[in-house]
Amino acid sequence: MNMETKVSRRTFLDWLLGAGLLTWAVAFFSPVMSYVWPAQKRGPGMQTVSAGKETDFADWQTKIVAVNSQPVIVVRTPQGFRAFSAICTHLGCIVGWDAGRKQIACPCHAGFFDLNGRPVAGPPPRPLQEHGIAIVNGEVMVKSA
Amino acid sequence: MKLYDKIRPWLAKRYDVPLVEEFVDHQAHKPLPEHTGFWHTFGSLSLYLFVNQIVTGILLMIYYRPTTNTAFESVRFIMTKAHFGWLIRGLHAWGATLMILCVLIHMIRTFIMGAYKKPRELTWVLGVFIFGCTITFGFTGYLLPWNQLSYWATTVGTEITGAIPWAGNYMKFILRGGEGITGETLARFYVLHVVVLPWALTVLVVTHLVLMRVQGLATLERVDEEKPIDPKDSIPFFPHHVLKEGMIFCLLIGAMATFVVLWPIELGEKADPFVTPEGIKPEWYFLSTYQLLKYFPKLLGILVSLIPPLVLLLWPFLDRSPERHPKKRPVAMTVGVLGLLLAVTFGALGYISERTITWGGQKYQFDIYAVPHRVTEPAKP
Protein backbone atom coordinates (compact mmCIF):
# COMPACT_ATOMS: atom_id res chain seq x y z
CA MET A 1 0.00 0.00 0.00
CA ASN A 2 1.38 3.35 -0.95
CA MET A 3 1.16 5.70 2.08
CA GLU A 4 3.26 8.37 0.48
CA THR A 5 1.54 11.76 0.30
CA LYS A 6 2.97 14.27 -2.07
CA VAL A 7 3.63 17.78 -0.88
CA SER A 8 4.18 20.18 -3.71
CA ARG A 9 7.12 22.57 -3.67
CA ARG A 10 4.64 25.48 -3.52
CA THR A 11 2.81 24.04 -0.46
CA PHE A 12 6.12 23.34 1.27
CA LEU A 13 7.32 26.90 0.62
CA ASP A 14 3.96 28.25 1.92
CA TRP A 15 4.48 26.30 5.16
CA LEU A 16 8.02 27.57 5.45
CA LEU A 17 6.88 31.14 4.87
CA GLY A 18 4.06 30.73 7.41
CA ALA A 19 6.44 29.31 10.02
CA GLY A 20 8.87 32.17 9.32
CA LEU A 21 6.14 34.76 9.78
CA LEU A 22 4.99 33.09 13.00
CA THR A 23 8.56 33.07 14.35
CA TRP A 24 8.90 36.72 13.39
CA ALA A 25 5.62 37.55 15.19
CA VAL A 26 6.72 35.69 18.35
CA ALA A 27 10.17 37.36 18.23
CA PHE A 28 8.49 40.73 17.82
CA PHE A 29 5.78 40.40 20.45
CA SER A 30 7.63 38.53 23.21
CA PRO A 31 9.81 41.54 24.21
CA VAL A 32 6.69 43.74 24.05
CA MET A 33 4.73 41.38 26.31
CA SER A 34 7.68 41.06 28.71
CA TYR A 35 7.93 44.85 28.83
CA VAL A 36 4.24 45.18 29.71
CA TRP A 37 4.55 42.57 32.51
CA PRO A 38 5.16 44.54 35.74
CA ALA A 39 8.89 44.69 36.41
CA GLN A 40 8.78 44.95 40.20
CA LYS A 41 7.15 42.19 42.14
CA ARG A 42 7.51 42.59 45.87
CA GLY A 43 8.94 39.63 47.72
CA PRO A 44 7.88 38.87 51.27
CA GLY A 45 8.81 41.93 53.35
CA MET A 46 10.19 41.47 56.86
CA GLN A 47 9.40 44.86 58.32
CA THR A 48 8.39 45.30 61.96
CA VAL A 49 6.82 48.66 62.76
CA SER A 50 5.67 50.48 65.86
CA ALA A 51 1.96 51.21 66.25
CA GLY A 52 2.70 53.56 69.15
CA LYS A 53 2.97 53.31 72.94
CA GLU A 54 0.93 50.65 74.70
CA THR A 55 -0.47 53.37 76.94
CA ASP A 56 -1.75 55.31 73.89
CA PHE A 57 -4.40 52.64 73.31
CA ALA A 58 -7.55 52.42 75.41
CA ASP A 59 -9.55 49.18 75.32
CA TRP A 60 -11.26 48.66 71.91
CA GLN A 61 -9.20 51.43 70.38
CA THR A 62 -7.86 50.74 66.88
CA LYS A 63 -5.22 52.16 64.59
CA ILE A 64 -4.18 51.55 60.99
CA VAL A 65 -0.42 51.29 60.43
CA ALA A 66 1.65 50.53 57.34
CA VAL A 67 3.68 47.30 57.42
CA ASN A 68 5.68 46.71 54.24
CA SER A 69 3.57 49.53 52.74
CA GLN A 70 0.41 47.49 53.37
CA PRO A 71 -2.33 48.65 55.81
CA VAL A 72 -2.67 46.68 59.04
CA ILE A 73 -5.41 47.26 61.64
CA VAL A 74 -4.29 47.02 65.29
CA VAL A 75 -7.00 46.48 67.93
CA ARG A 76 -6.56 46.59 71.70
CA THR A 77 -8.94 44.19 73.40
CA PRO A 78 -9.15 43.57 77.17
CA GLN A 79 -7.22 40.34 76.45
CA GLY A 80 -4.40 42.10 74.59
CA PHE A 81 -3.47 43.41 71.16
CA ARG A 82 -4.49 41.81 67.85
CA ALA A 83 -3.38 42.88 64.37
CA PHE A 84 -4.82 41.91 60.98
CA SER A 85 -4.28 42.90 57.39
CA ALA A 86 -6.70 45.78 56.79
CA ILE A 87 -7.35 44.73 53.19
CA CYS A 88 -10.80 43.14 52.93
CA THR A 89 -10.65 39.68 51.39
CA HIS A 90 -13.73 40.44 49.29
CA LEU A 91 -12.76 43.29 46.93
CA GLY A 92 -9.74 44.91 48.56
CA CYS A 93 -11.32 47.84 50.44
CA ILE A 94 -9.70 48.99 53.70
CA VAL A 95 -11.55 47.74 56.78
CA GLY A 96 -12.34 49.84 59.84
CA TRP A 97 -13.68 49.32 63.34
CA ASP A 98 -17.38 49.08 64.19
CA ALA A 99 -17.50 50.16 67.82
CA GLY A 100 -21.17 49.15 68.25
CA ARG A 101 -20.66 45.54 67.09
CA LYS A 102 -17.05 45.35 68.35
CA GLN A 103 -16.12 43.87 64.98
CA ILE A 104 -13.90 44.76 62.06
CA ALA A 105 -16.12 46.17 59.30
CA CYS A 106 -15.63 46.73 55.59
CA PRO A 107 -17.23 49.97 54.32
CA CYS A 108 -17.71 48.70 50.77
CA HIS A 109 -20.11 45.75 51.03
CA ALA A 110 -20.88 45.51 54.75
CA GLY A 111 -18.55 42.58 55.45
CA PHE A 112 -17.79 41.94 59.15
CA PHE A 113 -14.90 40.06 60.78
CA ASP A 114 -14.62 38.90 64.39
CA LEU A 115 -11.59 39.45 66.62
CA ASN A 116 -9.94 36.35 65.15
CA GLY A 117 -10.20 37.87 61.67
CA ARG A 118 -12.86 35.37 60.62
CA PRO A 119 -15.69 36.62 58.35
CA VAL A 120 -18.98 36.60 60.30
CA ALA A 121 -21.27 38.54 57.98
CA GLY A 122 -21.42 39.79 54.39
CA PRO A 123 -19.56 38.63 51.32
CA PRO A 124 -15.86 38.28 52.41
CA PRO A 125 -14.77 34.76 51.43
CA ARG A 126 -11.64 34.37 53.62
CA PRO A 127 -10.37 35.50 57.04
CA LEU A 128 -8.10 38.53 57.35
CA GLN A 129 -4.44 37.60 57.57
CA GLU A 130 -3.17 37.94 61.16
CA HIS A 131 0.02 39.81 62.06
CA GLY A 132 2.13 39.07 65.11
CA ILE A 133 2.35 41.65 67.92
CA ALA A 134 5.18 42.11 70.39
CA ILE A 135 5.34 44.65 73.22
CA VAL A 136 8.92 45.93 73.41
CA ASN A 137 9.68 48.49 76.13
CA GLY A 138 6.03 49.59 76.18
CA GLU A 139 5.99 49.96 72.39
CA VAL A 140 3.40 47.97 70.32
CA MET A 141 5.43 46.36 67.54
CA VAL A 142 3.54 44.87 64.55
CA LYS A 143 5.34 42.10 62.66
CA SER A 144 5.05 41.09 59.03
CA ALA A 145 2.44 38.41 58.39
CA MET B 1 -15.41 84.23 -7.51
CA LYS B 2 -15.40 81.61 -4.85
CA LEU B 3 -12.10 80.55 -3.28
CA TYR B 4 -12.64 76.97 -4.47
CA ASP B 5 -13.14 78.11 -8.08
CA LYS B 6 -9.81 79.92 -7.84
CA ILE B 7 -7.80 76.94 -6.57
CA ARG B 8 -9.67 74.26 -8.54
CA PRO B 9 -7.62 74.70 -11.78
CA TRP B 10 -4.40 74.38 -9.78
CA LEU B 11 -5.64 71.20 -8.10
CA ALA B 12 -7.06 69.79 -11.36
CA LYS B 13 -3.64 69.96 -13.02
CA ARG B 14 -2.25 67.71 -10.29
CA TYR B 15 -5.09 65.44 -9.09
CA ASP B 16 -8.18 63.72 -10.49
CA VAL B 17 -10.49 66.44 -9.12
CA PRO B 18 -13.67 65.36 -11.02
CA LEU B 19 -13.40 61.89 -9.42
CA VAL B 20 -13.18 63.38 -5.93
CA GLU B 21 -16.02 65.83 -6.69
CA GLU B 22 -18.21 63.03 -7.97
CA PHE B 23 -17.51 60.97 -4.83
CA VAL B 24 -18.28 63.89 -2.47
CA ASP B 25 -21.41 64.78 -4.46
CA HIS B 26 -22.62 61.16 -4.38
CA GLN B 27 -22.04 60.91 -0.61
CA ALA B 28 -23.64 64.27 0.12
CA HIS B 29 -26.79 63.58 -1.87
CA LYS B 30 -27.19 59.92 -1.00
CA PRO B 31 -30.92 59.26 -0.56
CA LEU B 32 -31.93 57.99 2.87
CA PRO B 33 -34.97 55.77 3.61
CA GLU B 34 -38.12 57.74 4.33
CA HIS B 35 -38.34 56.56 7.95
CA THR B 36 -35.00 58.28 8.72
CA GLY B 37 -35.75 60.69 11.54
CA PHE B 38 -34.35 62.25 14.67
CA TRP B 39 -33.63 58.85 16.23
CA HIS B 40 -31.11 58.32 13.42
CA THR B 41 -29.01 61.27 14.64
CA PHE B 42 -27.65 59.55 17.75
CA GLY B 43 -24.87 57.81 15.82
CA SER B 44 -23.62 61.17 14.55
CA LEU B 45 -24.05 62.66 18.02
CA SER B 46 -21.80 59.91 19.42
CA LEU B 47 -19.23 60.88 16.78
CA TYR B 48 -19.46 64.59 17.70
CA LEU B 49 -18.97 63.64 21.33
CA PHE B 50 -15.95 61.50 20.42
CA VAL B 51 -14.46 64.57 18.71
CA ASN B 52 -15.33 66.62 21.82
CA GLN B 53 -13.49 64.05 23.97
CA ILE B 54 -10.41 64.20 21.72
CA VAL B 55 -10.27 68.01 21.64
CA THR B 56 -10.93 68.54 25.39
CA GLY B 57 -8.66 65.56 26.18
CA ILE B 58 -5.75 67.13 24.27
CA LEU B 59 -6.32 70.40 26.13
CA LEU B 60 -6.42 68.61 29.51
CA MET B 61 -3.14 66.84 28.71
CA ILE B 62 -1.37 70.22 28.61
CA TYR B 63 -1.69 70.57 32.39
CA TYR B 64 -2.39 67.01 33.59
CA ARG B 65 0.53 65.10 35.19
CA PRO B 66 0.02 61.33 35.52
CA THR B 67 1.87 60.54 38.77
CA THR B 68 0.45 59.79 42.20
CA ASN B 69 2.02 62.95 43.63
CA THR B 70 0.81 65.28 40.92
CA ALA B 71 -2.34 63.85 39.26
CA PHE B 72 -4.85 65.14 41.82
CA GLU B 73 -3.07 68.48 42.18
CA SER B 74 -2.86 68.98 38.41
CA VAL B 75 -6.62 68.36 38.00
CA ARG B 76 -7.26 70.81 40.85
CA PHE B 77 -5.00 73.28 39.04
CA ILE B 78 -6.99 72.80 35.83
CA MET B 79 -10.27 73.38 37.70
CA THR B 80 -9.18 76.39 39.73
CA LYS B 81 -6.23 78.15 38.07
CA ALA B 82 -6.07 77.37 34.34
CA HIS B 83 -8.24 79.80 32.32
CA PHE B 84 -11.54 78.06 31.53
CA GLY B 85 -10.03 74.85 32.90
CA TRP B 86 -13.30 74.15 34.78
CA LEU B 87 -15.12 74.33 31.43
CA ILE B 88 -12.67 72.06 29.59
CA ARG B 89 -12.70 69.43 32.35
CA GLY B 90 -16.47 69.73 32.73
CA LEU B 91 -17.01 69.24 28.98
CA HIS B 92 -14.71 66.20 29.06
CA ALA B 93 -16.39 64.58 32.08
CA TRP B 94 -19.96 65.30 30.94
CA GLY B 95 -18.99 64.44 27.35
CA ALA B 96 -17.95 60.97 28.53
CA THR B 97 -21.29 60.30 30.19
CA LEU B 98 -23.28 61.70 27.27
CA MET B 99 -21.21 59.76 24.74
CA ILE B 100 -22.04 56.48 26.49
CA LEU B 101 -25.72 57.51 26.61
CA CYS B 102 -25.76 58.41 22.89
CA VAL B 103 -24.04 55.15 21.88
CA LEU B 104 -26.61 53.26 23.97
CA ILE B 105 -29.59 55.09 22.41
CA HIS B 106 -28.08 54.52 18.95
CA MET B 107 -27.82 50.79 19.71
CA ILE B 108 -31.39 50.64 21.01
CA ARG B 109 -32.63 52.41 17.84
CA THR B 110 -30.69 49.95 15.65
CA PHE B 111 -32.15 47.05 17.64
CA ILE B 112 -35.75 48.28 17.43
CA MET B 113 -35.55 48.95 13.68
CA GLY B 114 -33.90 45.58 12.97
CA ALA B 115 -31.03 47.35 11.21
CA TYR B 116 -28.53 44.77 12.48
CA LYS B 117 -29.88 42.07 10.16
CA LYS B 118 -28.33 40.76 6.97
CA PRO B 119 -26.33 42.28 5.30
CA ARG B 120 -25.33 44.60 8.19
CA GLU B 121 -24.33 42.04 10.86
CA LEU B 122 -20.69 43.16 10.95
CA THR B 123 -21.67 46.82 11.32
CA TRP B 124 -23.57 45.79 14.47
CA VAL B 125 -20.66 43.67 15.77
CA LEU B 126 -18.32 46.64 15.27
CA GLY B 127 -20.89 48.79 17.08
CA VAL B 128 -20.79 46.46 20.10
CA PHE B 129 -16.98 46.76 20.13
CA ILE B 130 -17.34 50.55 19.89
CA PHE B 131 -19.64 50.45 22.92
CA GLY B 132 -17.12 48.25 24.81
CA CYS B 133 -14.32 50.64 23.87
CA THR B 134 -16.39 53.64 25.04
CA ILE B 135 -17.05 52.21 28.51
CA THR B 136 -13.39 51.14 28.80
CA PHE B 137 -12.59 54.81 28.13
CA GLY B 138 -14.88 55.63 31.05
CA PHE B 139 -13.24 53.07 33.35
CA THR B 140 -9.65 54.13 32.57
CA GLY B 141 -10.43 57.86 32.64
CA TYR B 142 -12.19 57.59 36.00
CA LEU B 143 -8.91 56.80 37.80
CA LEU B 144 -6.92 59.69 36.32
CA PRO B 145 -7.99 62.45 38.81
CA TRP B 146 -6.57 60.15 41.55
CA ASN B 147 -9.29 60.98 44.06
CA GLN B 148 -10.81 58.75 46.72
CA LEU B 149 -13.82 57.69 44.65
CA SER B 150 -11.79 56.89 41.56
CA TYR B 151 -9.08 55.06 43.53
CA TRP B 152 -11.48 52.78 45.38
CA ALA B 153 -13.82 52.22 42.42
CA THR B 154 -10.75 51.09 40.45
CA THR B 155 -9.59 48.89 43.35
CA VAL B 156 -12.95 47.11 43.44
CA GLY B 157 -13.27 47.00 39.63
CA THR B 158 -9.86 45.47 39.02
CA GLU B 159 -10.18 43.10 42.01
CA ILE B 160 -13.18 41.50 40.27
CA THR B 161 -10.90 40.56 37.34
CA GLY B 162 -8.88 38.41 39.76
CA ALA B 163 -11.79 35.98 40.15
CA ILE B 164 -11.54 34.78 36.54
CA PRO B 165 -10.10 31.25 36.78
CA TRP B 166 -6.47 30.70 35.81
CA ALA B 167 -5.87 33.98 33.93
CA GLY B 168 -7.62 36.34 36.38
CA ASN B 169 -4.71 37.05 38.68
CA TYR B 170 -2.33 37.54 35.74
CA MET B 171 -4.79 39.92 34.11
CA LYS B 172 -5.21 41.86 37.34
CA PHE B 173 -1.43 42.01 37.80
CA ILE B 174 -0.84 43.31 34.24
CA LEU B 175 -3.75 45.77 34.45
CA ARG B 176 -2.57 47.18 37.78
CA GLY B 177 1.13 47.03 36.97
CA GLY B 178 1.67 45.23 40.30
CA GLU B 179 -0.24 43.95 43.30
CA GLY B 180 -2.11 47.12 44.24
CA ILE B 181 -3.36 50.35 42.70
CA THR B 182 -0.22 52.48 42.52
CA GLY B 183 1.53 54.96 40.26
CA GLU B 184 2.14 52.03 37.89
CA THR B 185 -1.62 51.57 37.52
CA LEU B 186 -2.10 55.29 36.91
CA ALA B 187 0.57 55.27 34.16
CA ARG B 188 -0.98 52.21 32.51
CA PHE B 189 -4.51 53.58 32.60
CA TYR B 190 -3.21 56.90 31.24
CA VAL B 191 -1.49 55.21 28.28
CA LEU B 192 -4.62 53.16 27.57
CA HIS B 193 -6.84 56.24 27.89
CA VAL B 194 -4.87 58.71 25.77
CA VAL B 195 -3.11 56.51 23.21
CA VAL B 196 -4.36 52.94 22.84
CA LEU B 197 -8.12 53.45 23.15
CA PRO B 198 -8.38 56.60 20.97
CA TRP B 199 -6.64 54.84 18.09
CA ALA B 200 -8.62 51.63 18.59
CA LEU B 201 -11.88 53.59 18.65
CA THR B 202 -10.86 55.65 15.60
CA VAL B 203 -10.21 52.48 13.57
CA LEU B 204 -13.51 50.93 14.74
CA VAL B 205 -15.53 54.08 14.05
CA VAL B 206 -14.04 54.64 10.59
CA THR B 207 -14.72 51.00 9.60
CA HIS B 208 -18.25 51.25 11.04
CA LEU B 209 -18.89 54.44 9.02
CA VAL B 210 -17.45 53.03 5.80
CA LEU B 211 -19.65 49.93 6.11
CA MET B 212 -22.67 52.14 6.84
CA ARG B 213 -22.03 54.37 3.80
CA VAL B 214 -21.29 51.44 1.48
CA GLN B 215 -24.38 49.42 2.47
CA GLY B 216 -26.63 52.41 3.14
CA LEU B 217 -29.14 52.77 5.95
CA ALA B 218 -31.49 49.83 6.46
CA THR B 219 -35.11 50.18 5.42
CA LEU B 220 -37.93 48.49 7.35
CA GLU B 221 -38.41 45.87 4.61
CA ARG B 222 -37.73 42.15 5.11
CA VAL B 223 -34.22 40.76 4.79
CA ASP B 224 -33.24 40.15 1.13
CA GLU B 225 -36.33 42.09 0.02
CA GLU B 226 -34.95 45.61 0.43
CA LYS B 227 -35.80 47.65 -2.67
CA PRO B 228 -33.43 50.35 -3.92
CA ILE B 229 -34.46 53.68 -2.44
CA ASP B 230 -36.62 55.67 -4.82
CA PRO B 231 -35.34 59.28 -4.77
CA LYS B 232 -38.97 60.49 -4.84
CA ASP B 233 -39.78 58.76 -1.52
CA SER B 234 -36.46 59.45 0.14
CA ILE B 235 -34.80 62.03 2.33
CA PRO B 236 -31.61 63.56 0.89
CA PHE B 237 -28.64 63.28 3.24
CA PHE B 238 -27.77 66.89 2.41
CA PRO B 239 -29.31 69.25 3.36
CA HIS B 240 -32.32 67.56 5.06
CA HIS B 241 -30.64 65.06 7.36
CA VAL B 242 -27.53 67.19 7.93
CA LEU B 243 -29.79 70.06 9.12
CA LYS B 244 -31.56 67.68 11.51
CA GLU B 245 -28.18 66.63 12.88
CA GLY B 246 -27.12 70.28 13.13
CA MET B 247 -30.21 71.06 15.20
CA ILE B 248 -29.59 68.17 17.59
CA PHE B 249 -25.90 69.10 17.75
CA CYS B 250 -26.79 72.67 18.85
CA LEU B 251 -29.15 71.29 21.50
CA LEU B 252 -26.39 68.95 22.70
CA ILE B 253 -23.86 71.78 23.02
CA GLY B 254 -26.44 73.79 24.97
CA ALA B 255 -27.26 70.85 27.23
CA MET B 256 -23.57 70.14 27.89
CA ALA B 257 -22.81 73.75 28.78
CA THR B 258 -25.85 73.76 31.11
CA PHE B 259 -24.78 70.53 32.83
CA VAL B 260 -21.19 71.79 33.26
CA VAL B 261 -22.41 75.00 34.91
CA LEU B 262 -25.30 73.63 36.99
CA TRP B 263 -23.90 70.20 37.94
CA PRO B 264 -20.12 70.47 37.94
CA ILE B 265 -18.20 67.22 38.37
CA GLU B 266 -16.49 67.59 41.72
CA LEU B 267 -12.94 66.52 42.41
CA GLY B 268 -13.43 65.28 45.98
CA GLU B 269 -10.51 64.25 48.18
CA LYS B 270 -7.11 62.97 47.11
CA ALA B 271 -6.75 59.17 47.01
CA ASP B 272 -5.71 57.64 50.33
CA PRO B 273 -4.74 53.98 49.97
CA PHE B 274 -5.25 53.50 53.74
CA VAL B 275 -8.82 54.80 54.06
CA THR B 276 -11.81 53.49 52.11
CA PRO B 277 -14.69 55.98 52.21
CA GLU B 278 -18.28 54.84 52.77
CA GLY B 279 -20.59 54.21 49.82
CA ILE B 280 -18.13 53.60 46.98
CA LYS B 281 -20.19 53.36 43.81
CA PRO B 282 -19.11 53.06 40.20
CA GLU B 283 -20.34 55.39 37.45
CA TRP B 284 -23.98 54.91 36.36
CA TYR B 285 -23.09 52.75 33.36
CA PHE B 286 -21.47 50.13 35.62
CA LEU B 287 -24.17 50.20 38.33
CA SER B 288 -26.20 47.27 36.96
CA THR B 289 -23.12 45.01 36.67
CA TYR B 290 -21.93 46.19 40.11
CA GLN B 291 -25.29 45.21 41.66
CA LEU B 292 -25.54 41.94 39.73
CA LEU B 293 -22.12 40.86 41.04
CA LYS B 294 -23.39 41.20 44.63
CA TYR B 295 -25.97 38.42 44.21
CA PHE B 296 -23.51 35.82 42.99
CA PRO B 297 -20.18 34.45 44.21
CA LYS B 298 -17.33 36.18 42.38
CA LEU B 299 -16.72 33.62 39.58
CA LEU B 300 -20.39 32.89 38.92
CA GLY B 301 -21.03 36.65 38.97
CA ILE B 302 -18.43 37.21 36.26
CA LEU B 303 -19.92 34.43 34.12
CA VAL B 304 -23.44 35.84 34.56
CA SER B 305 -22.32 39.40 33.79
CA LEU B 306 -20.63 38.16 30.59
CA ILE B 307 -23.96 36.93 29.20
CA PRO B 308 -25.42 40.36 28.20
CA PRO B 309 -22.36 41.53 26.16
CA LEU B 310 -22.07 38.10 24.51
CA VAL B 311 -25.76 38.08 23.58
CA LEU B 312 -25.39 41.62 22.21
CA LEU B 313 -22.37 40.61 20.14
CA LEU B 314 -24.00 37.50 18.70
CA TRP B 315 -27.56 38.86 18.42
CA PRO B 316 -27.59 39.27 14.57
CA PHE B 317 -26.68 35.59 14.30
CA LEU B 318 -29.17 34.44 16.96
CA ASP B 319 -32.16 36.35 15.57
CA ARG B 320 -32.84 34.57 12.28
CA SER B 321 -36.26 36.10 11.53
CA PRO B 322 -36.29 37.98 8.20
CA GLU B 323 -38.61 40.70 9.55
CA ARG B 324 -37.29 44.15 10.44
CA HIS B 325 -40.42 45.99 11.50
CA PRO B 326 -40.60 45.94 15.34
CA LYS B 327 -44.30 44.97 15.29
CA LYS B 328 -43.45 41.83 13.34
CA ARG B 329 -40.66 40.72 15.72
CA PRO B 330 -42.45 39.98 19.02
CA VAL B 331 -39.73 37.63 20.35
CA ALA B 332 -36.80 39.96 19.67
CA MET B 333 -38.70 42.95 21.04
CA THR B 334 -39.66 41.03 24.20
CA VAL B 335 -36.03 39.96 24.74
CA GLY B 336 -34.85 43.54 24.14
CA VAL B 337 -37.40 45.14 26.47
CA LEU B 338 -36.75 42.53 29.20
CA GLY B 339 -32.98 43.03 28.88
CA LEU B 340 -33.36 46.79 29.14
CA LEU B 341 -35.75 46.50 32.11
CA LEU B 342 -33.32 44.16 33.90
CA ALA B 343 -30.43 46.58 33.30
CA VAL B 344 -32.46 49.55 34.57
CA THR B 345 -33.76 47.57 37.60
CA PHE B 346 -30.30 46.35 38.62
CA GLY B 347 -28.92 49.86 38.03
CA ALA B 348 -31.63 51.37 40.27
CA LEU B 349 -31.02 48.71 42.95
CA GLY B 350 -27.29 49.46 42.74
CA TYR B 351 -28.02 53.16 43.13
CA ILE B 352 -30.21 52.85 46.24
CA SER B 353 -28.18 50.06 47.90
CA GLU B 354 -26.11 51.08 50.93
CA ARG B 355 -28.02 54.36 51.28
CA THR B 356 -30.36 55.71 53.91
CA ILE B 357 -33.52 57.19 52.44
CA THR B 358 -36.34 58.95 54.31
CA TRP B 359 -39.76 58.19 52.85
CA GLY B 360 -43.05 59.28 54.39
CA GLY B 361 -41.28 60.42 57.55
CA GLN B 362 -39.69 56.98 58.04
CA LYS B 363 -35.96 56.34 57.60
CA TYR B 364 -34.94 53.23 55.65
CA GLN B 365 -31.46 51.77 55.42
CA PHE B 366 -30.96 49.84 52.16
CA ASP B 367 -28.44 47.02 52.59
CA ILE B 368 -25.99 45.82 49.92
CA TYR B 369 -28.74 43.80 48.23
CA ALA B 370 -30.96 46.95 48.23
CA VAL B 371 -33.34 45.39 50.77
CA PRO B 372 -34.83 48.20 52.91
CA HIS B 373 -34.58 48.01 56.72
CA ARG B 374 -36.55 50.36 58.95
CA VAL B 375 -34.24 52.55 61.02
CA THR B 376 -35.54 53.10 64.54
CA GLU B 377 -34.12 56.23 66.14
CA PRO B 378 -33.02 55.77 69.76
CA ALA B 379 -35.47 57.40 72.15
CA LYS B 380 -34.36 60.81 73.38
CA PRO B 381 -33.55 60.90 77.10
Domain boundaries, chain A: 49-142
Each residue's pLDDT tens digit, B189-213: 999 999 999 999 999 999 999 999 9
How does A68-97 read in b/e, with b if 16+ C-beta sit within 10 Å?
A: eebbbbbbbeeeebbbbbbbbbbbbbbbbb
Fold entry, domain A49-142: Rieske Iron-sulfur Protein (2.102.10)
Residues of B in contact with A122 (CB under 8 A): 368
- Strand, coil or helix: A5: coil
How high is the pLDDT of residue B155? Answer: 93
CATH number at residue B243: 1.20.810.10
CA distance B263 to B266: 9
How high is the pLDDT of residue B378? Answer: 64
What number of other Cβ atoms are within 10 A of residue B7's Cβ?
Answer: 10
| Among the partner residues B156, B177, B354, nearest to A92 by beta-carbon distance | B156
The shortest C-alpha distance from A89 to chain B (Å) reads: 10
- Main-chain dihedrals φ then ψ at residue B60, nearest 5 degrees: -65, -35
Which residues in chain B land under pLDDT 50?
Answer: none
B217 in a structural domain: yes
Number of cross-chain residue pairs from A and B with Cβ atoms under 8 Å apart: 60
The shortest C-alpha distance from B243 to chain A (Å) reads: 47
How high is the pLDDT of residue B361? Answer: 85
Residues of A in contact with B189 (CB under 8 A): none
B354 at interface of A, judged by CB pairs closer than 8 A = yes
Residues of A in contact with B274 (CB under 8 A): 64, 66, 71, 86, 94
CA nearest neighbour of B189 among B144, B224, B155: B144
CA distance A12 to B340: 54
pTM: 0.88
Each residue's pLDDT tens digit, B158-201: 988 887 888 888 999 999 999 889 999 999 999 999 999 999 99
B300 at interface of A, judged by CB pairs closer than 8 A = no
Task: Report whether pLDDT(A87) > 90.
Answer: yes
**Domains: count for chain B:** 1
The shortest C-alpha distance from B273 to chain A (Å) reads: 8
B35 in a structural domain: yes
Rounded to an integer, the average pLDDT of A84-92 is 93
Full domain range(s) for residue B263: 25-280
Q: Which residues neighbour B131 within 8 Å (Cβ) at sequence distance 6 or greater?
A: B103, B104, B107, B312
Residues of A in contact with B184 (CB under 8 A): 38
C-alpha B247: how far from chain center: 22
Task: Report whether pLDDT(A6) > 90.
Answer: no
B355 in a structural domain: no
How high is the pLDDT of residue B198? Answer: 97
Each residue's pLDDT tens digit, A20-76: 999 999 999 998 888 888 886 555 667 789 999 999 899 999 999 999 888 999 999
B293 in a structural domain: no
Find the distance separating the first CA and the last CA of chain B, reported in whole Å.
Answer: 90
Find the closest chain B residue to A35 by CA distance: B174
How high is the pLDDT of residue B116? Answer: 96
What number of other Cβ atoms are within 10 A of residue A111's Cβ?
Answer: 25
CA distance B276 to B274: 7
B231 at interface of A, judged by CB pairs closer than 8 A = no
Total residues belonging to chain B: 381
How does B105-120 read in b/e, with b if 16+ C-beta sit within 10 Å?
A: bbbebbbbbbbbbeeb
The shortest C-alpha distance from B156 to chain A (Å) reads: 5
The arrangement of strands across the sheet holding A62-67 comes to A62-67, A70-77, A80-85, A130-131
How high is the pLDDT of residue A43? Answer: 59
ipTM value: 0.78
The shortest C-alpha distance from A138 to chain B (Å) reads: 25
B303 in a structural domain: no
CA distance B271 to B275: 9
B174 at interface of A, judged by CB pairs closer than 8 A = yes
Asked if the Cβ–Cβ distance from B155 to A91 is below 8 Å, we say yes
B167 in a structural domain: yes
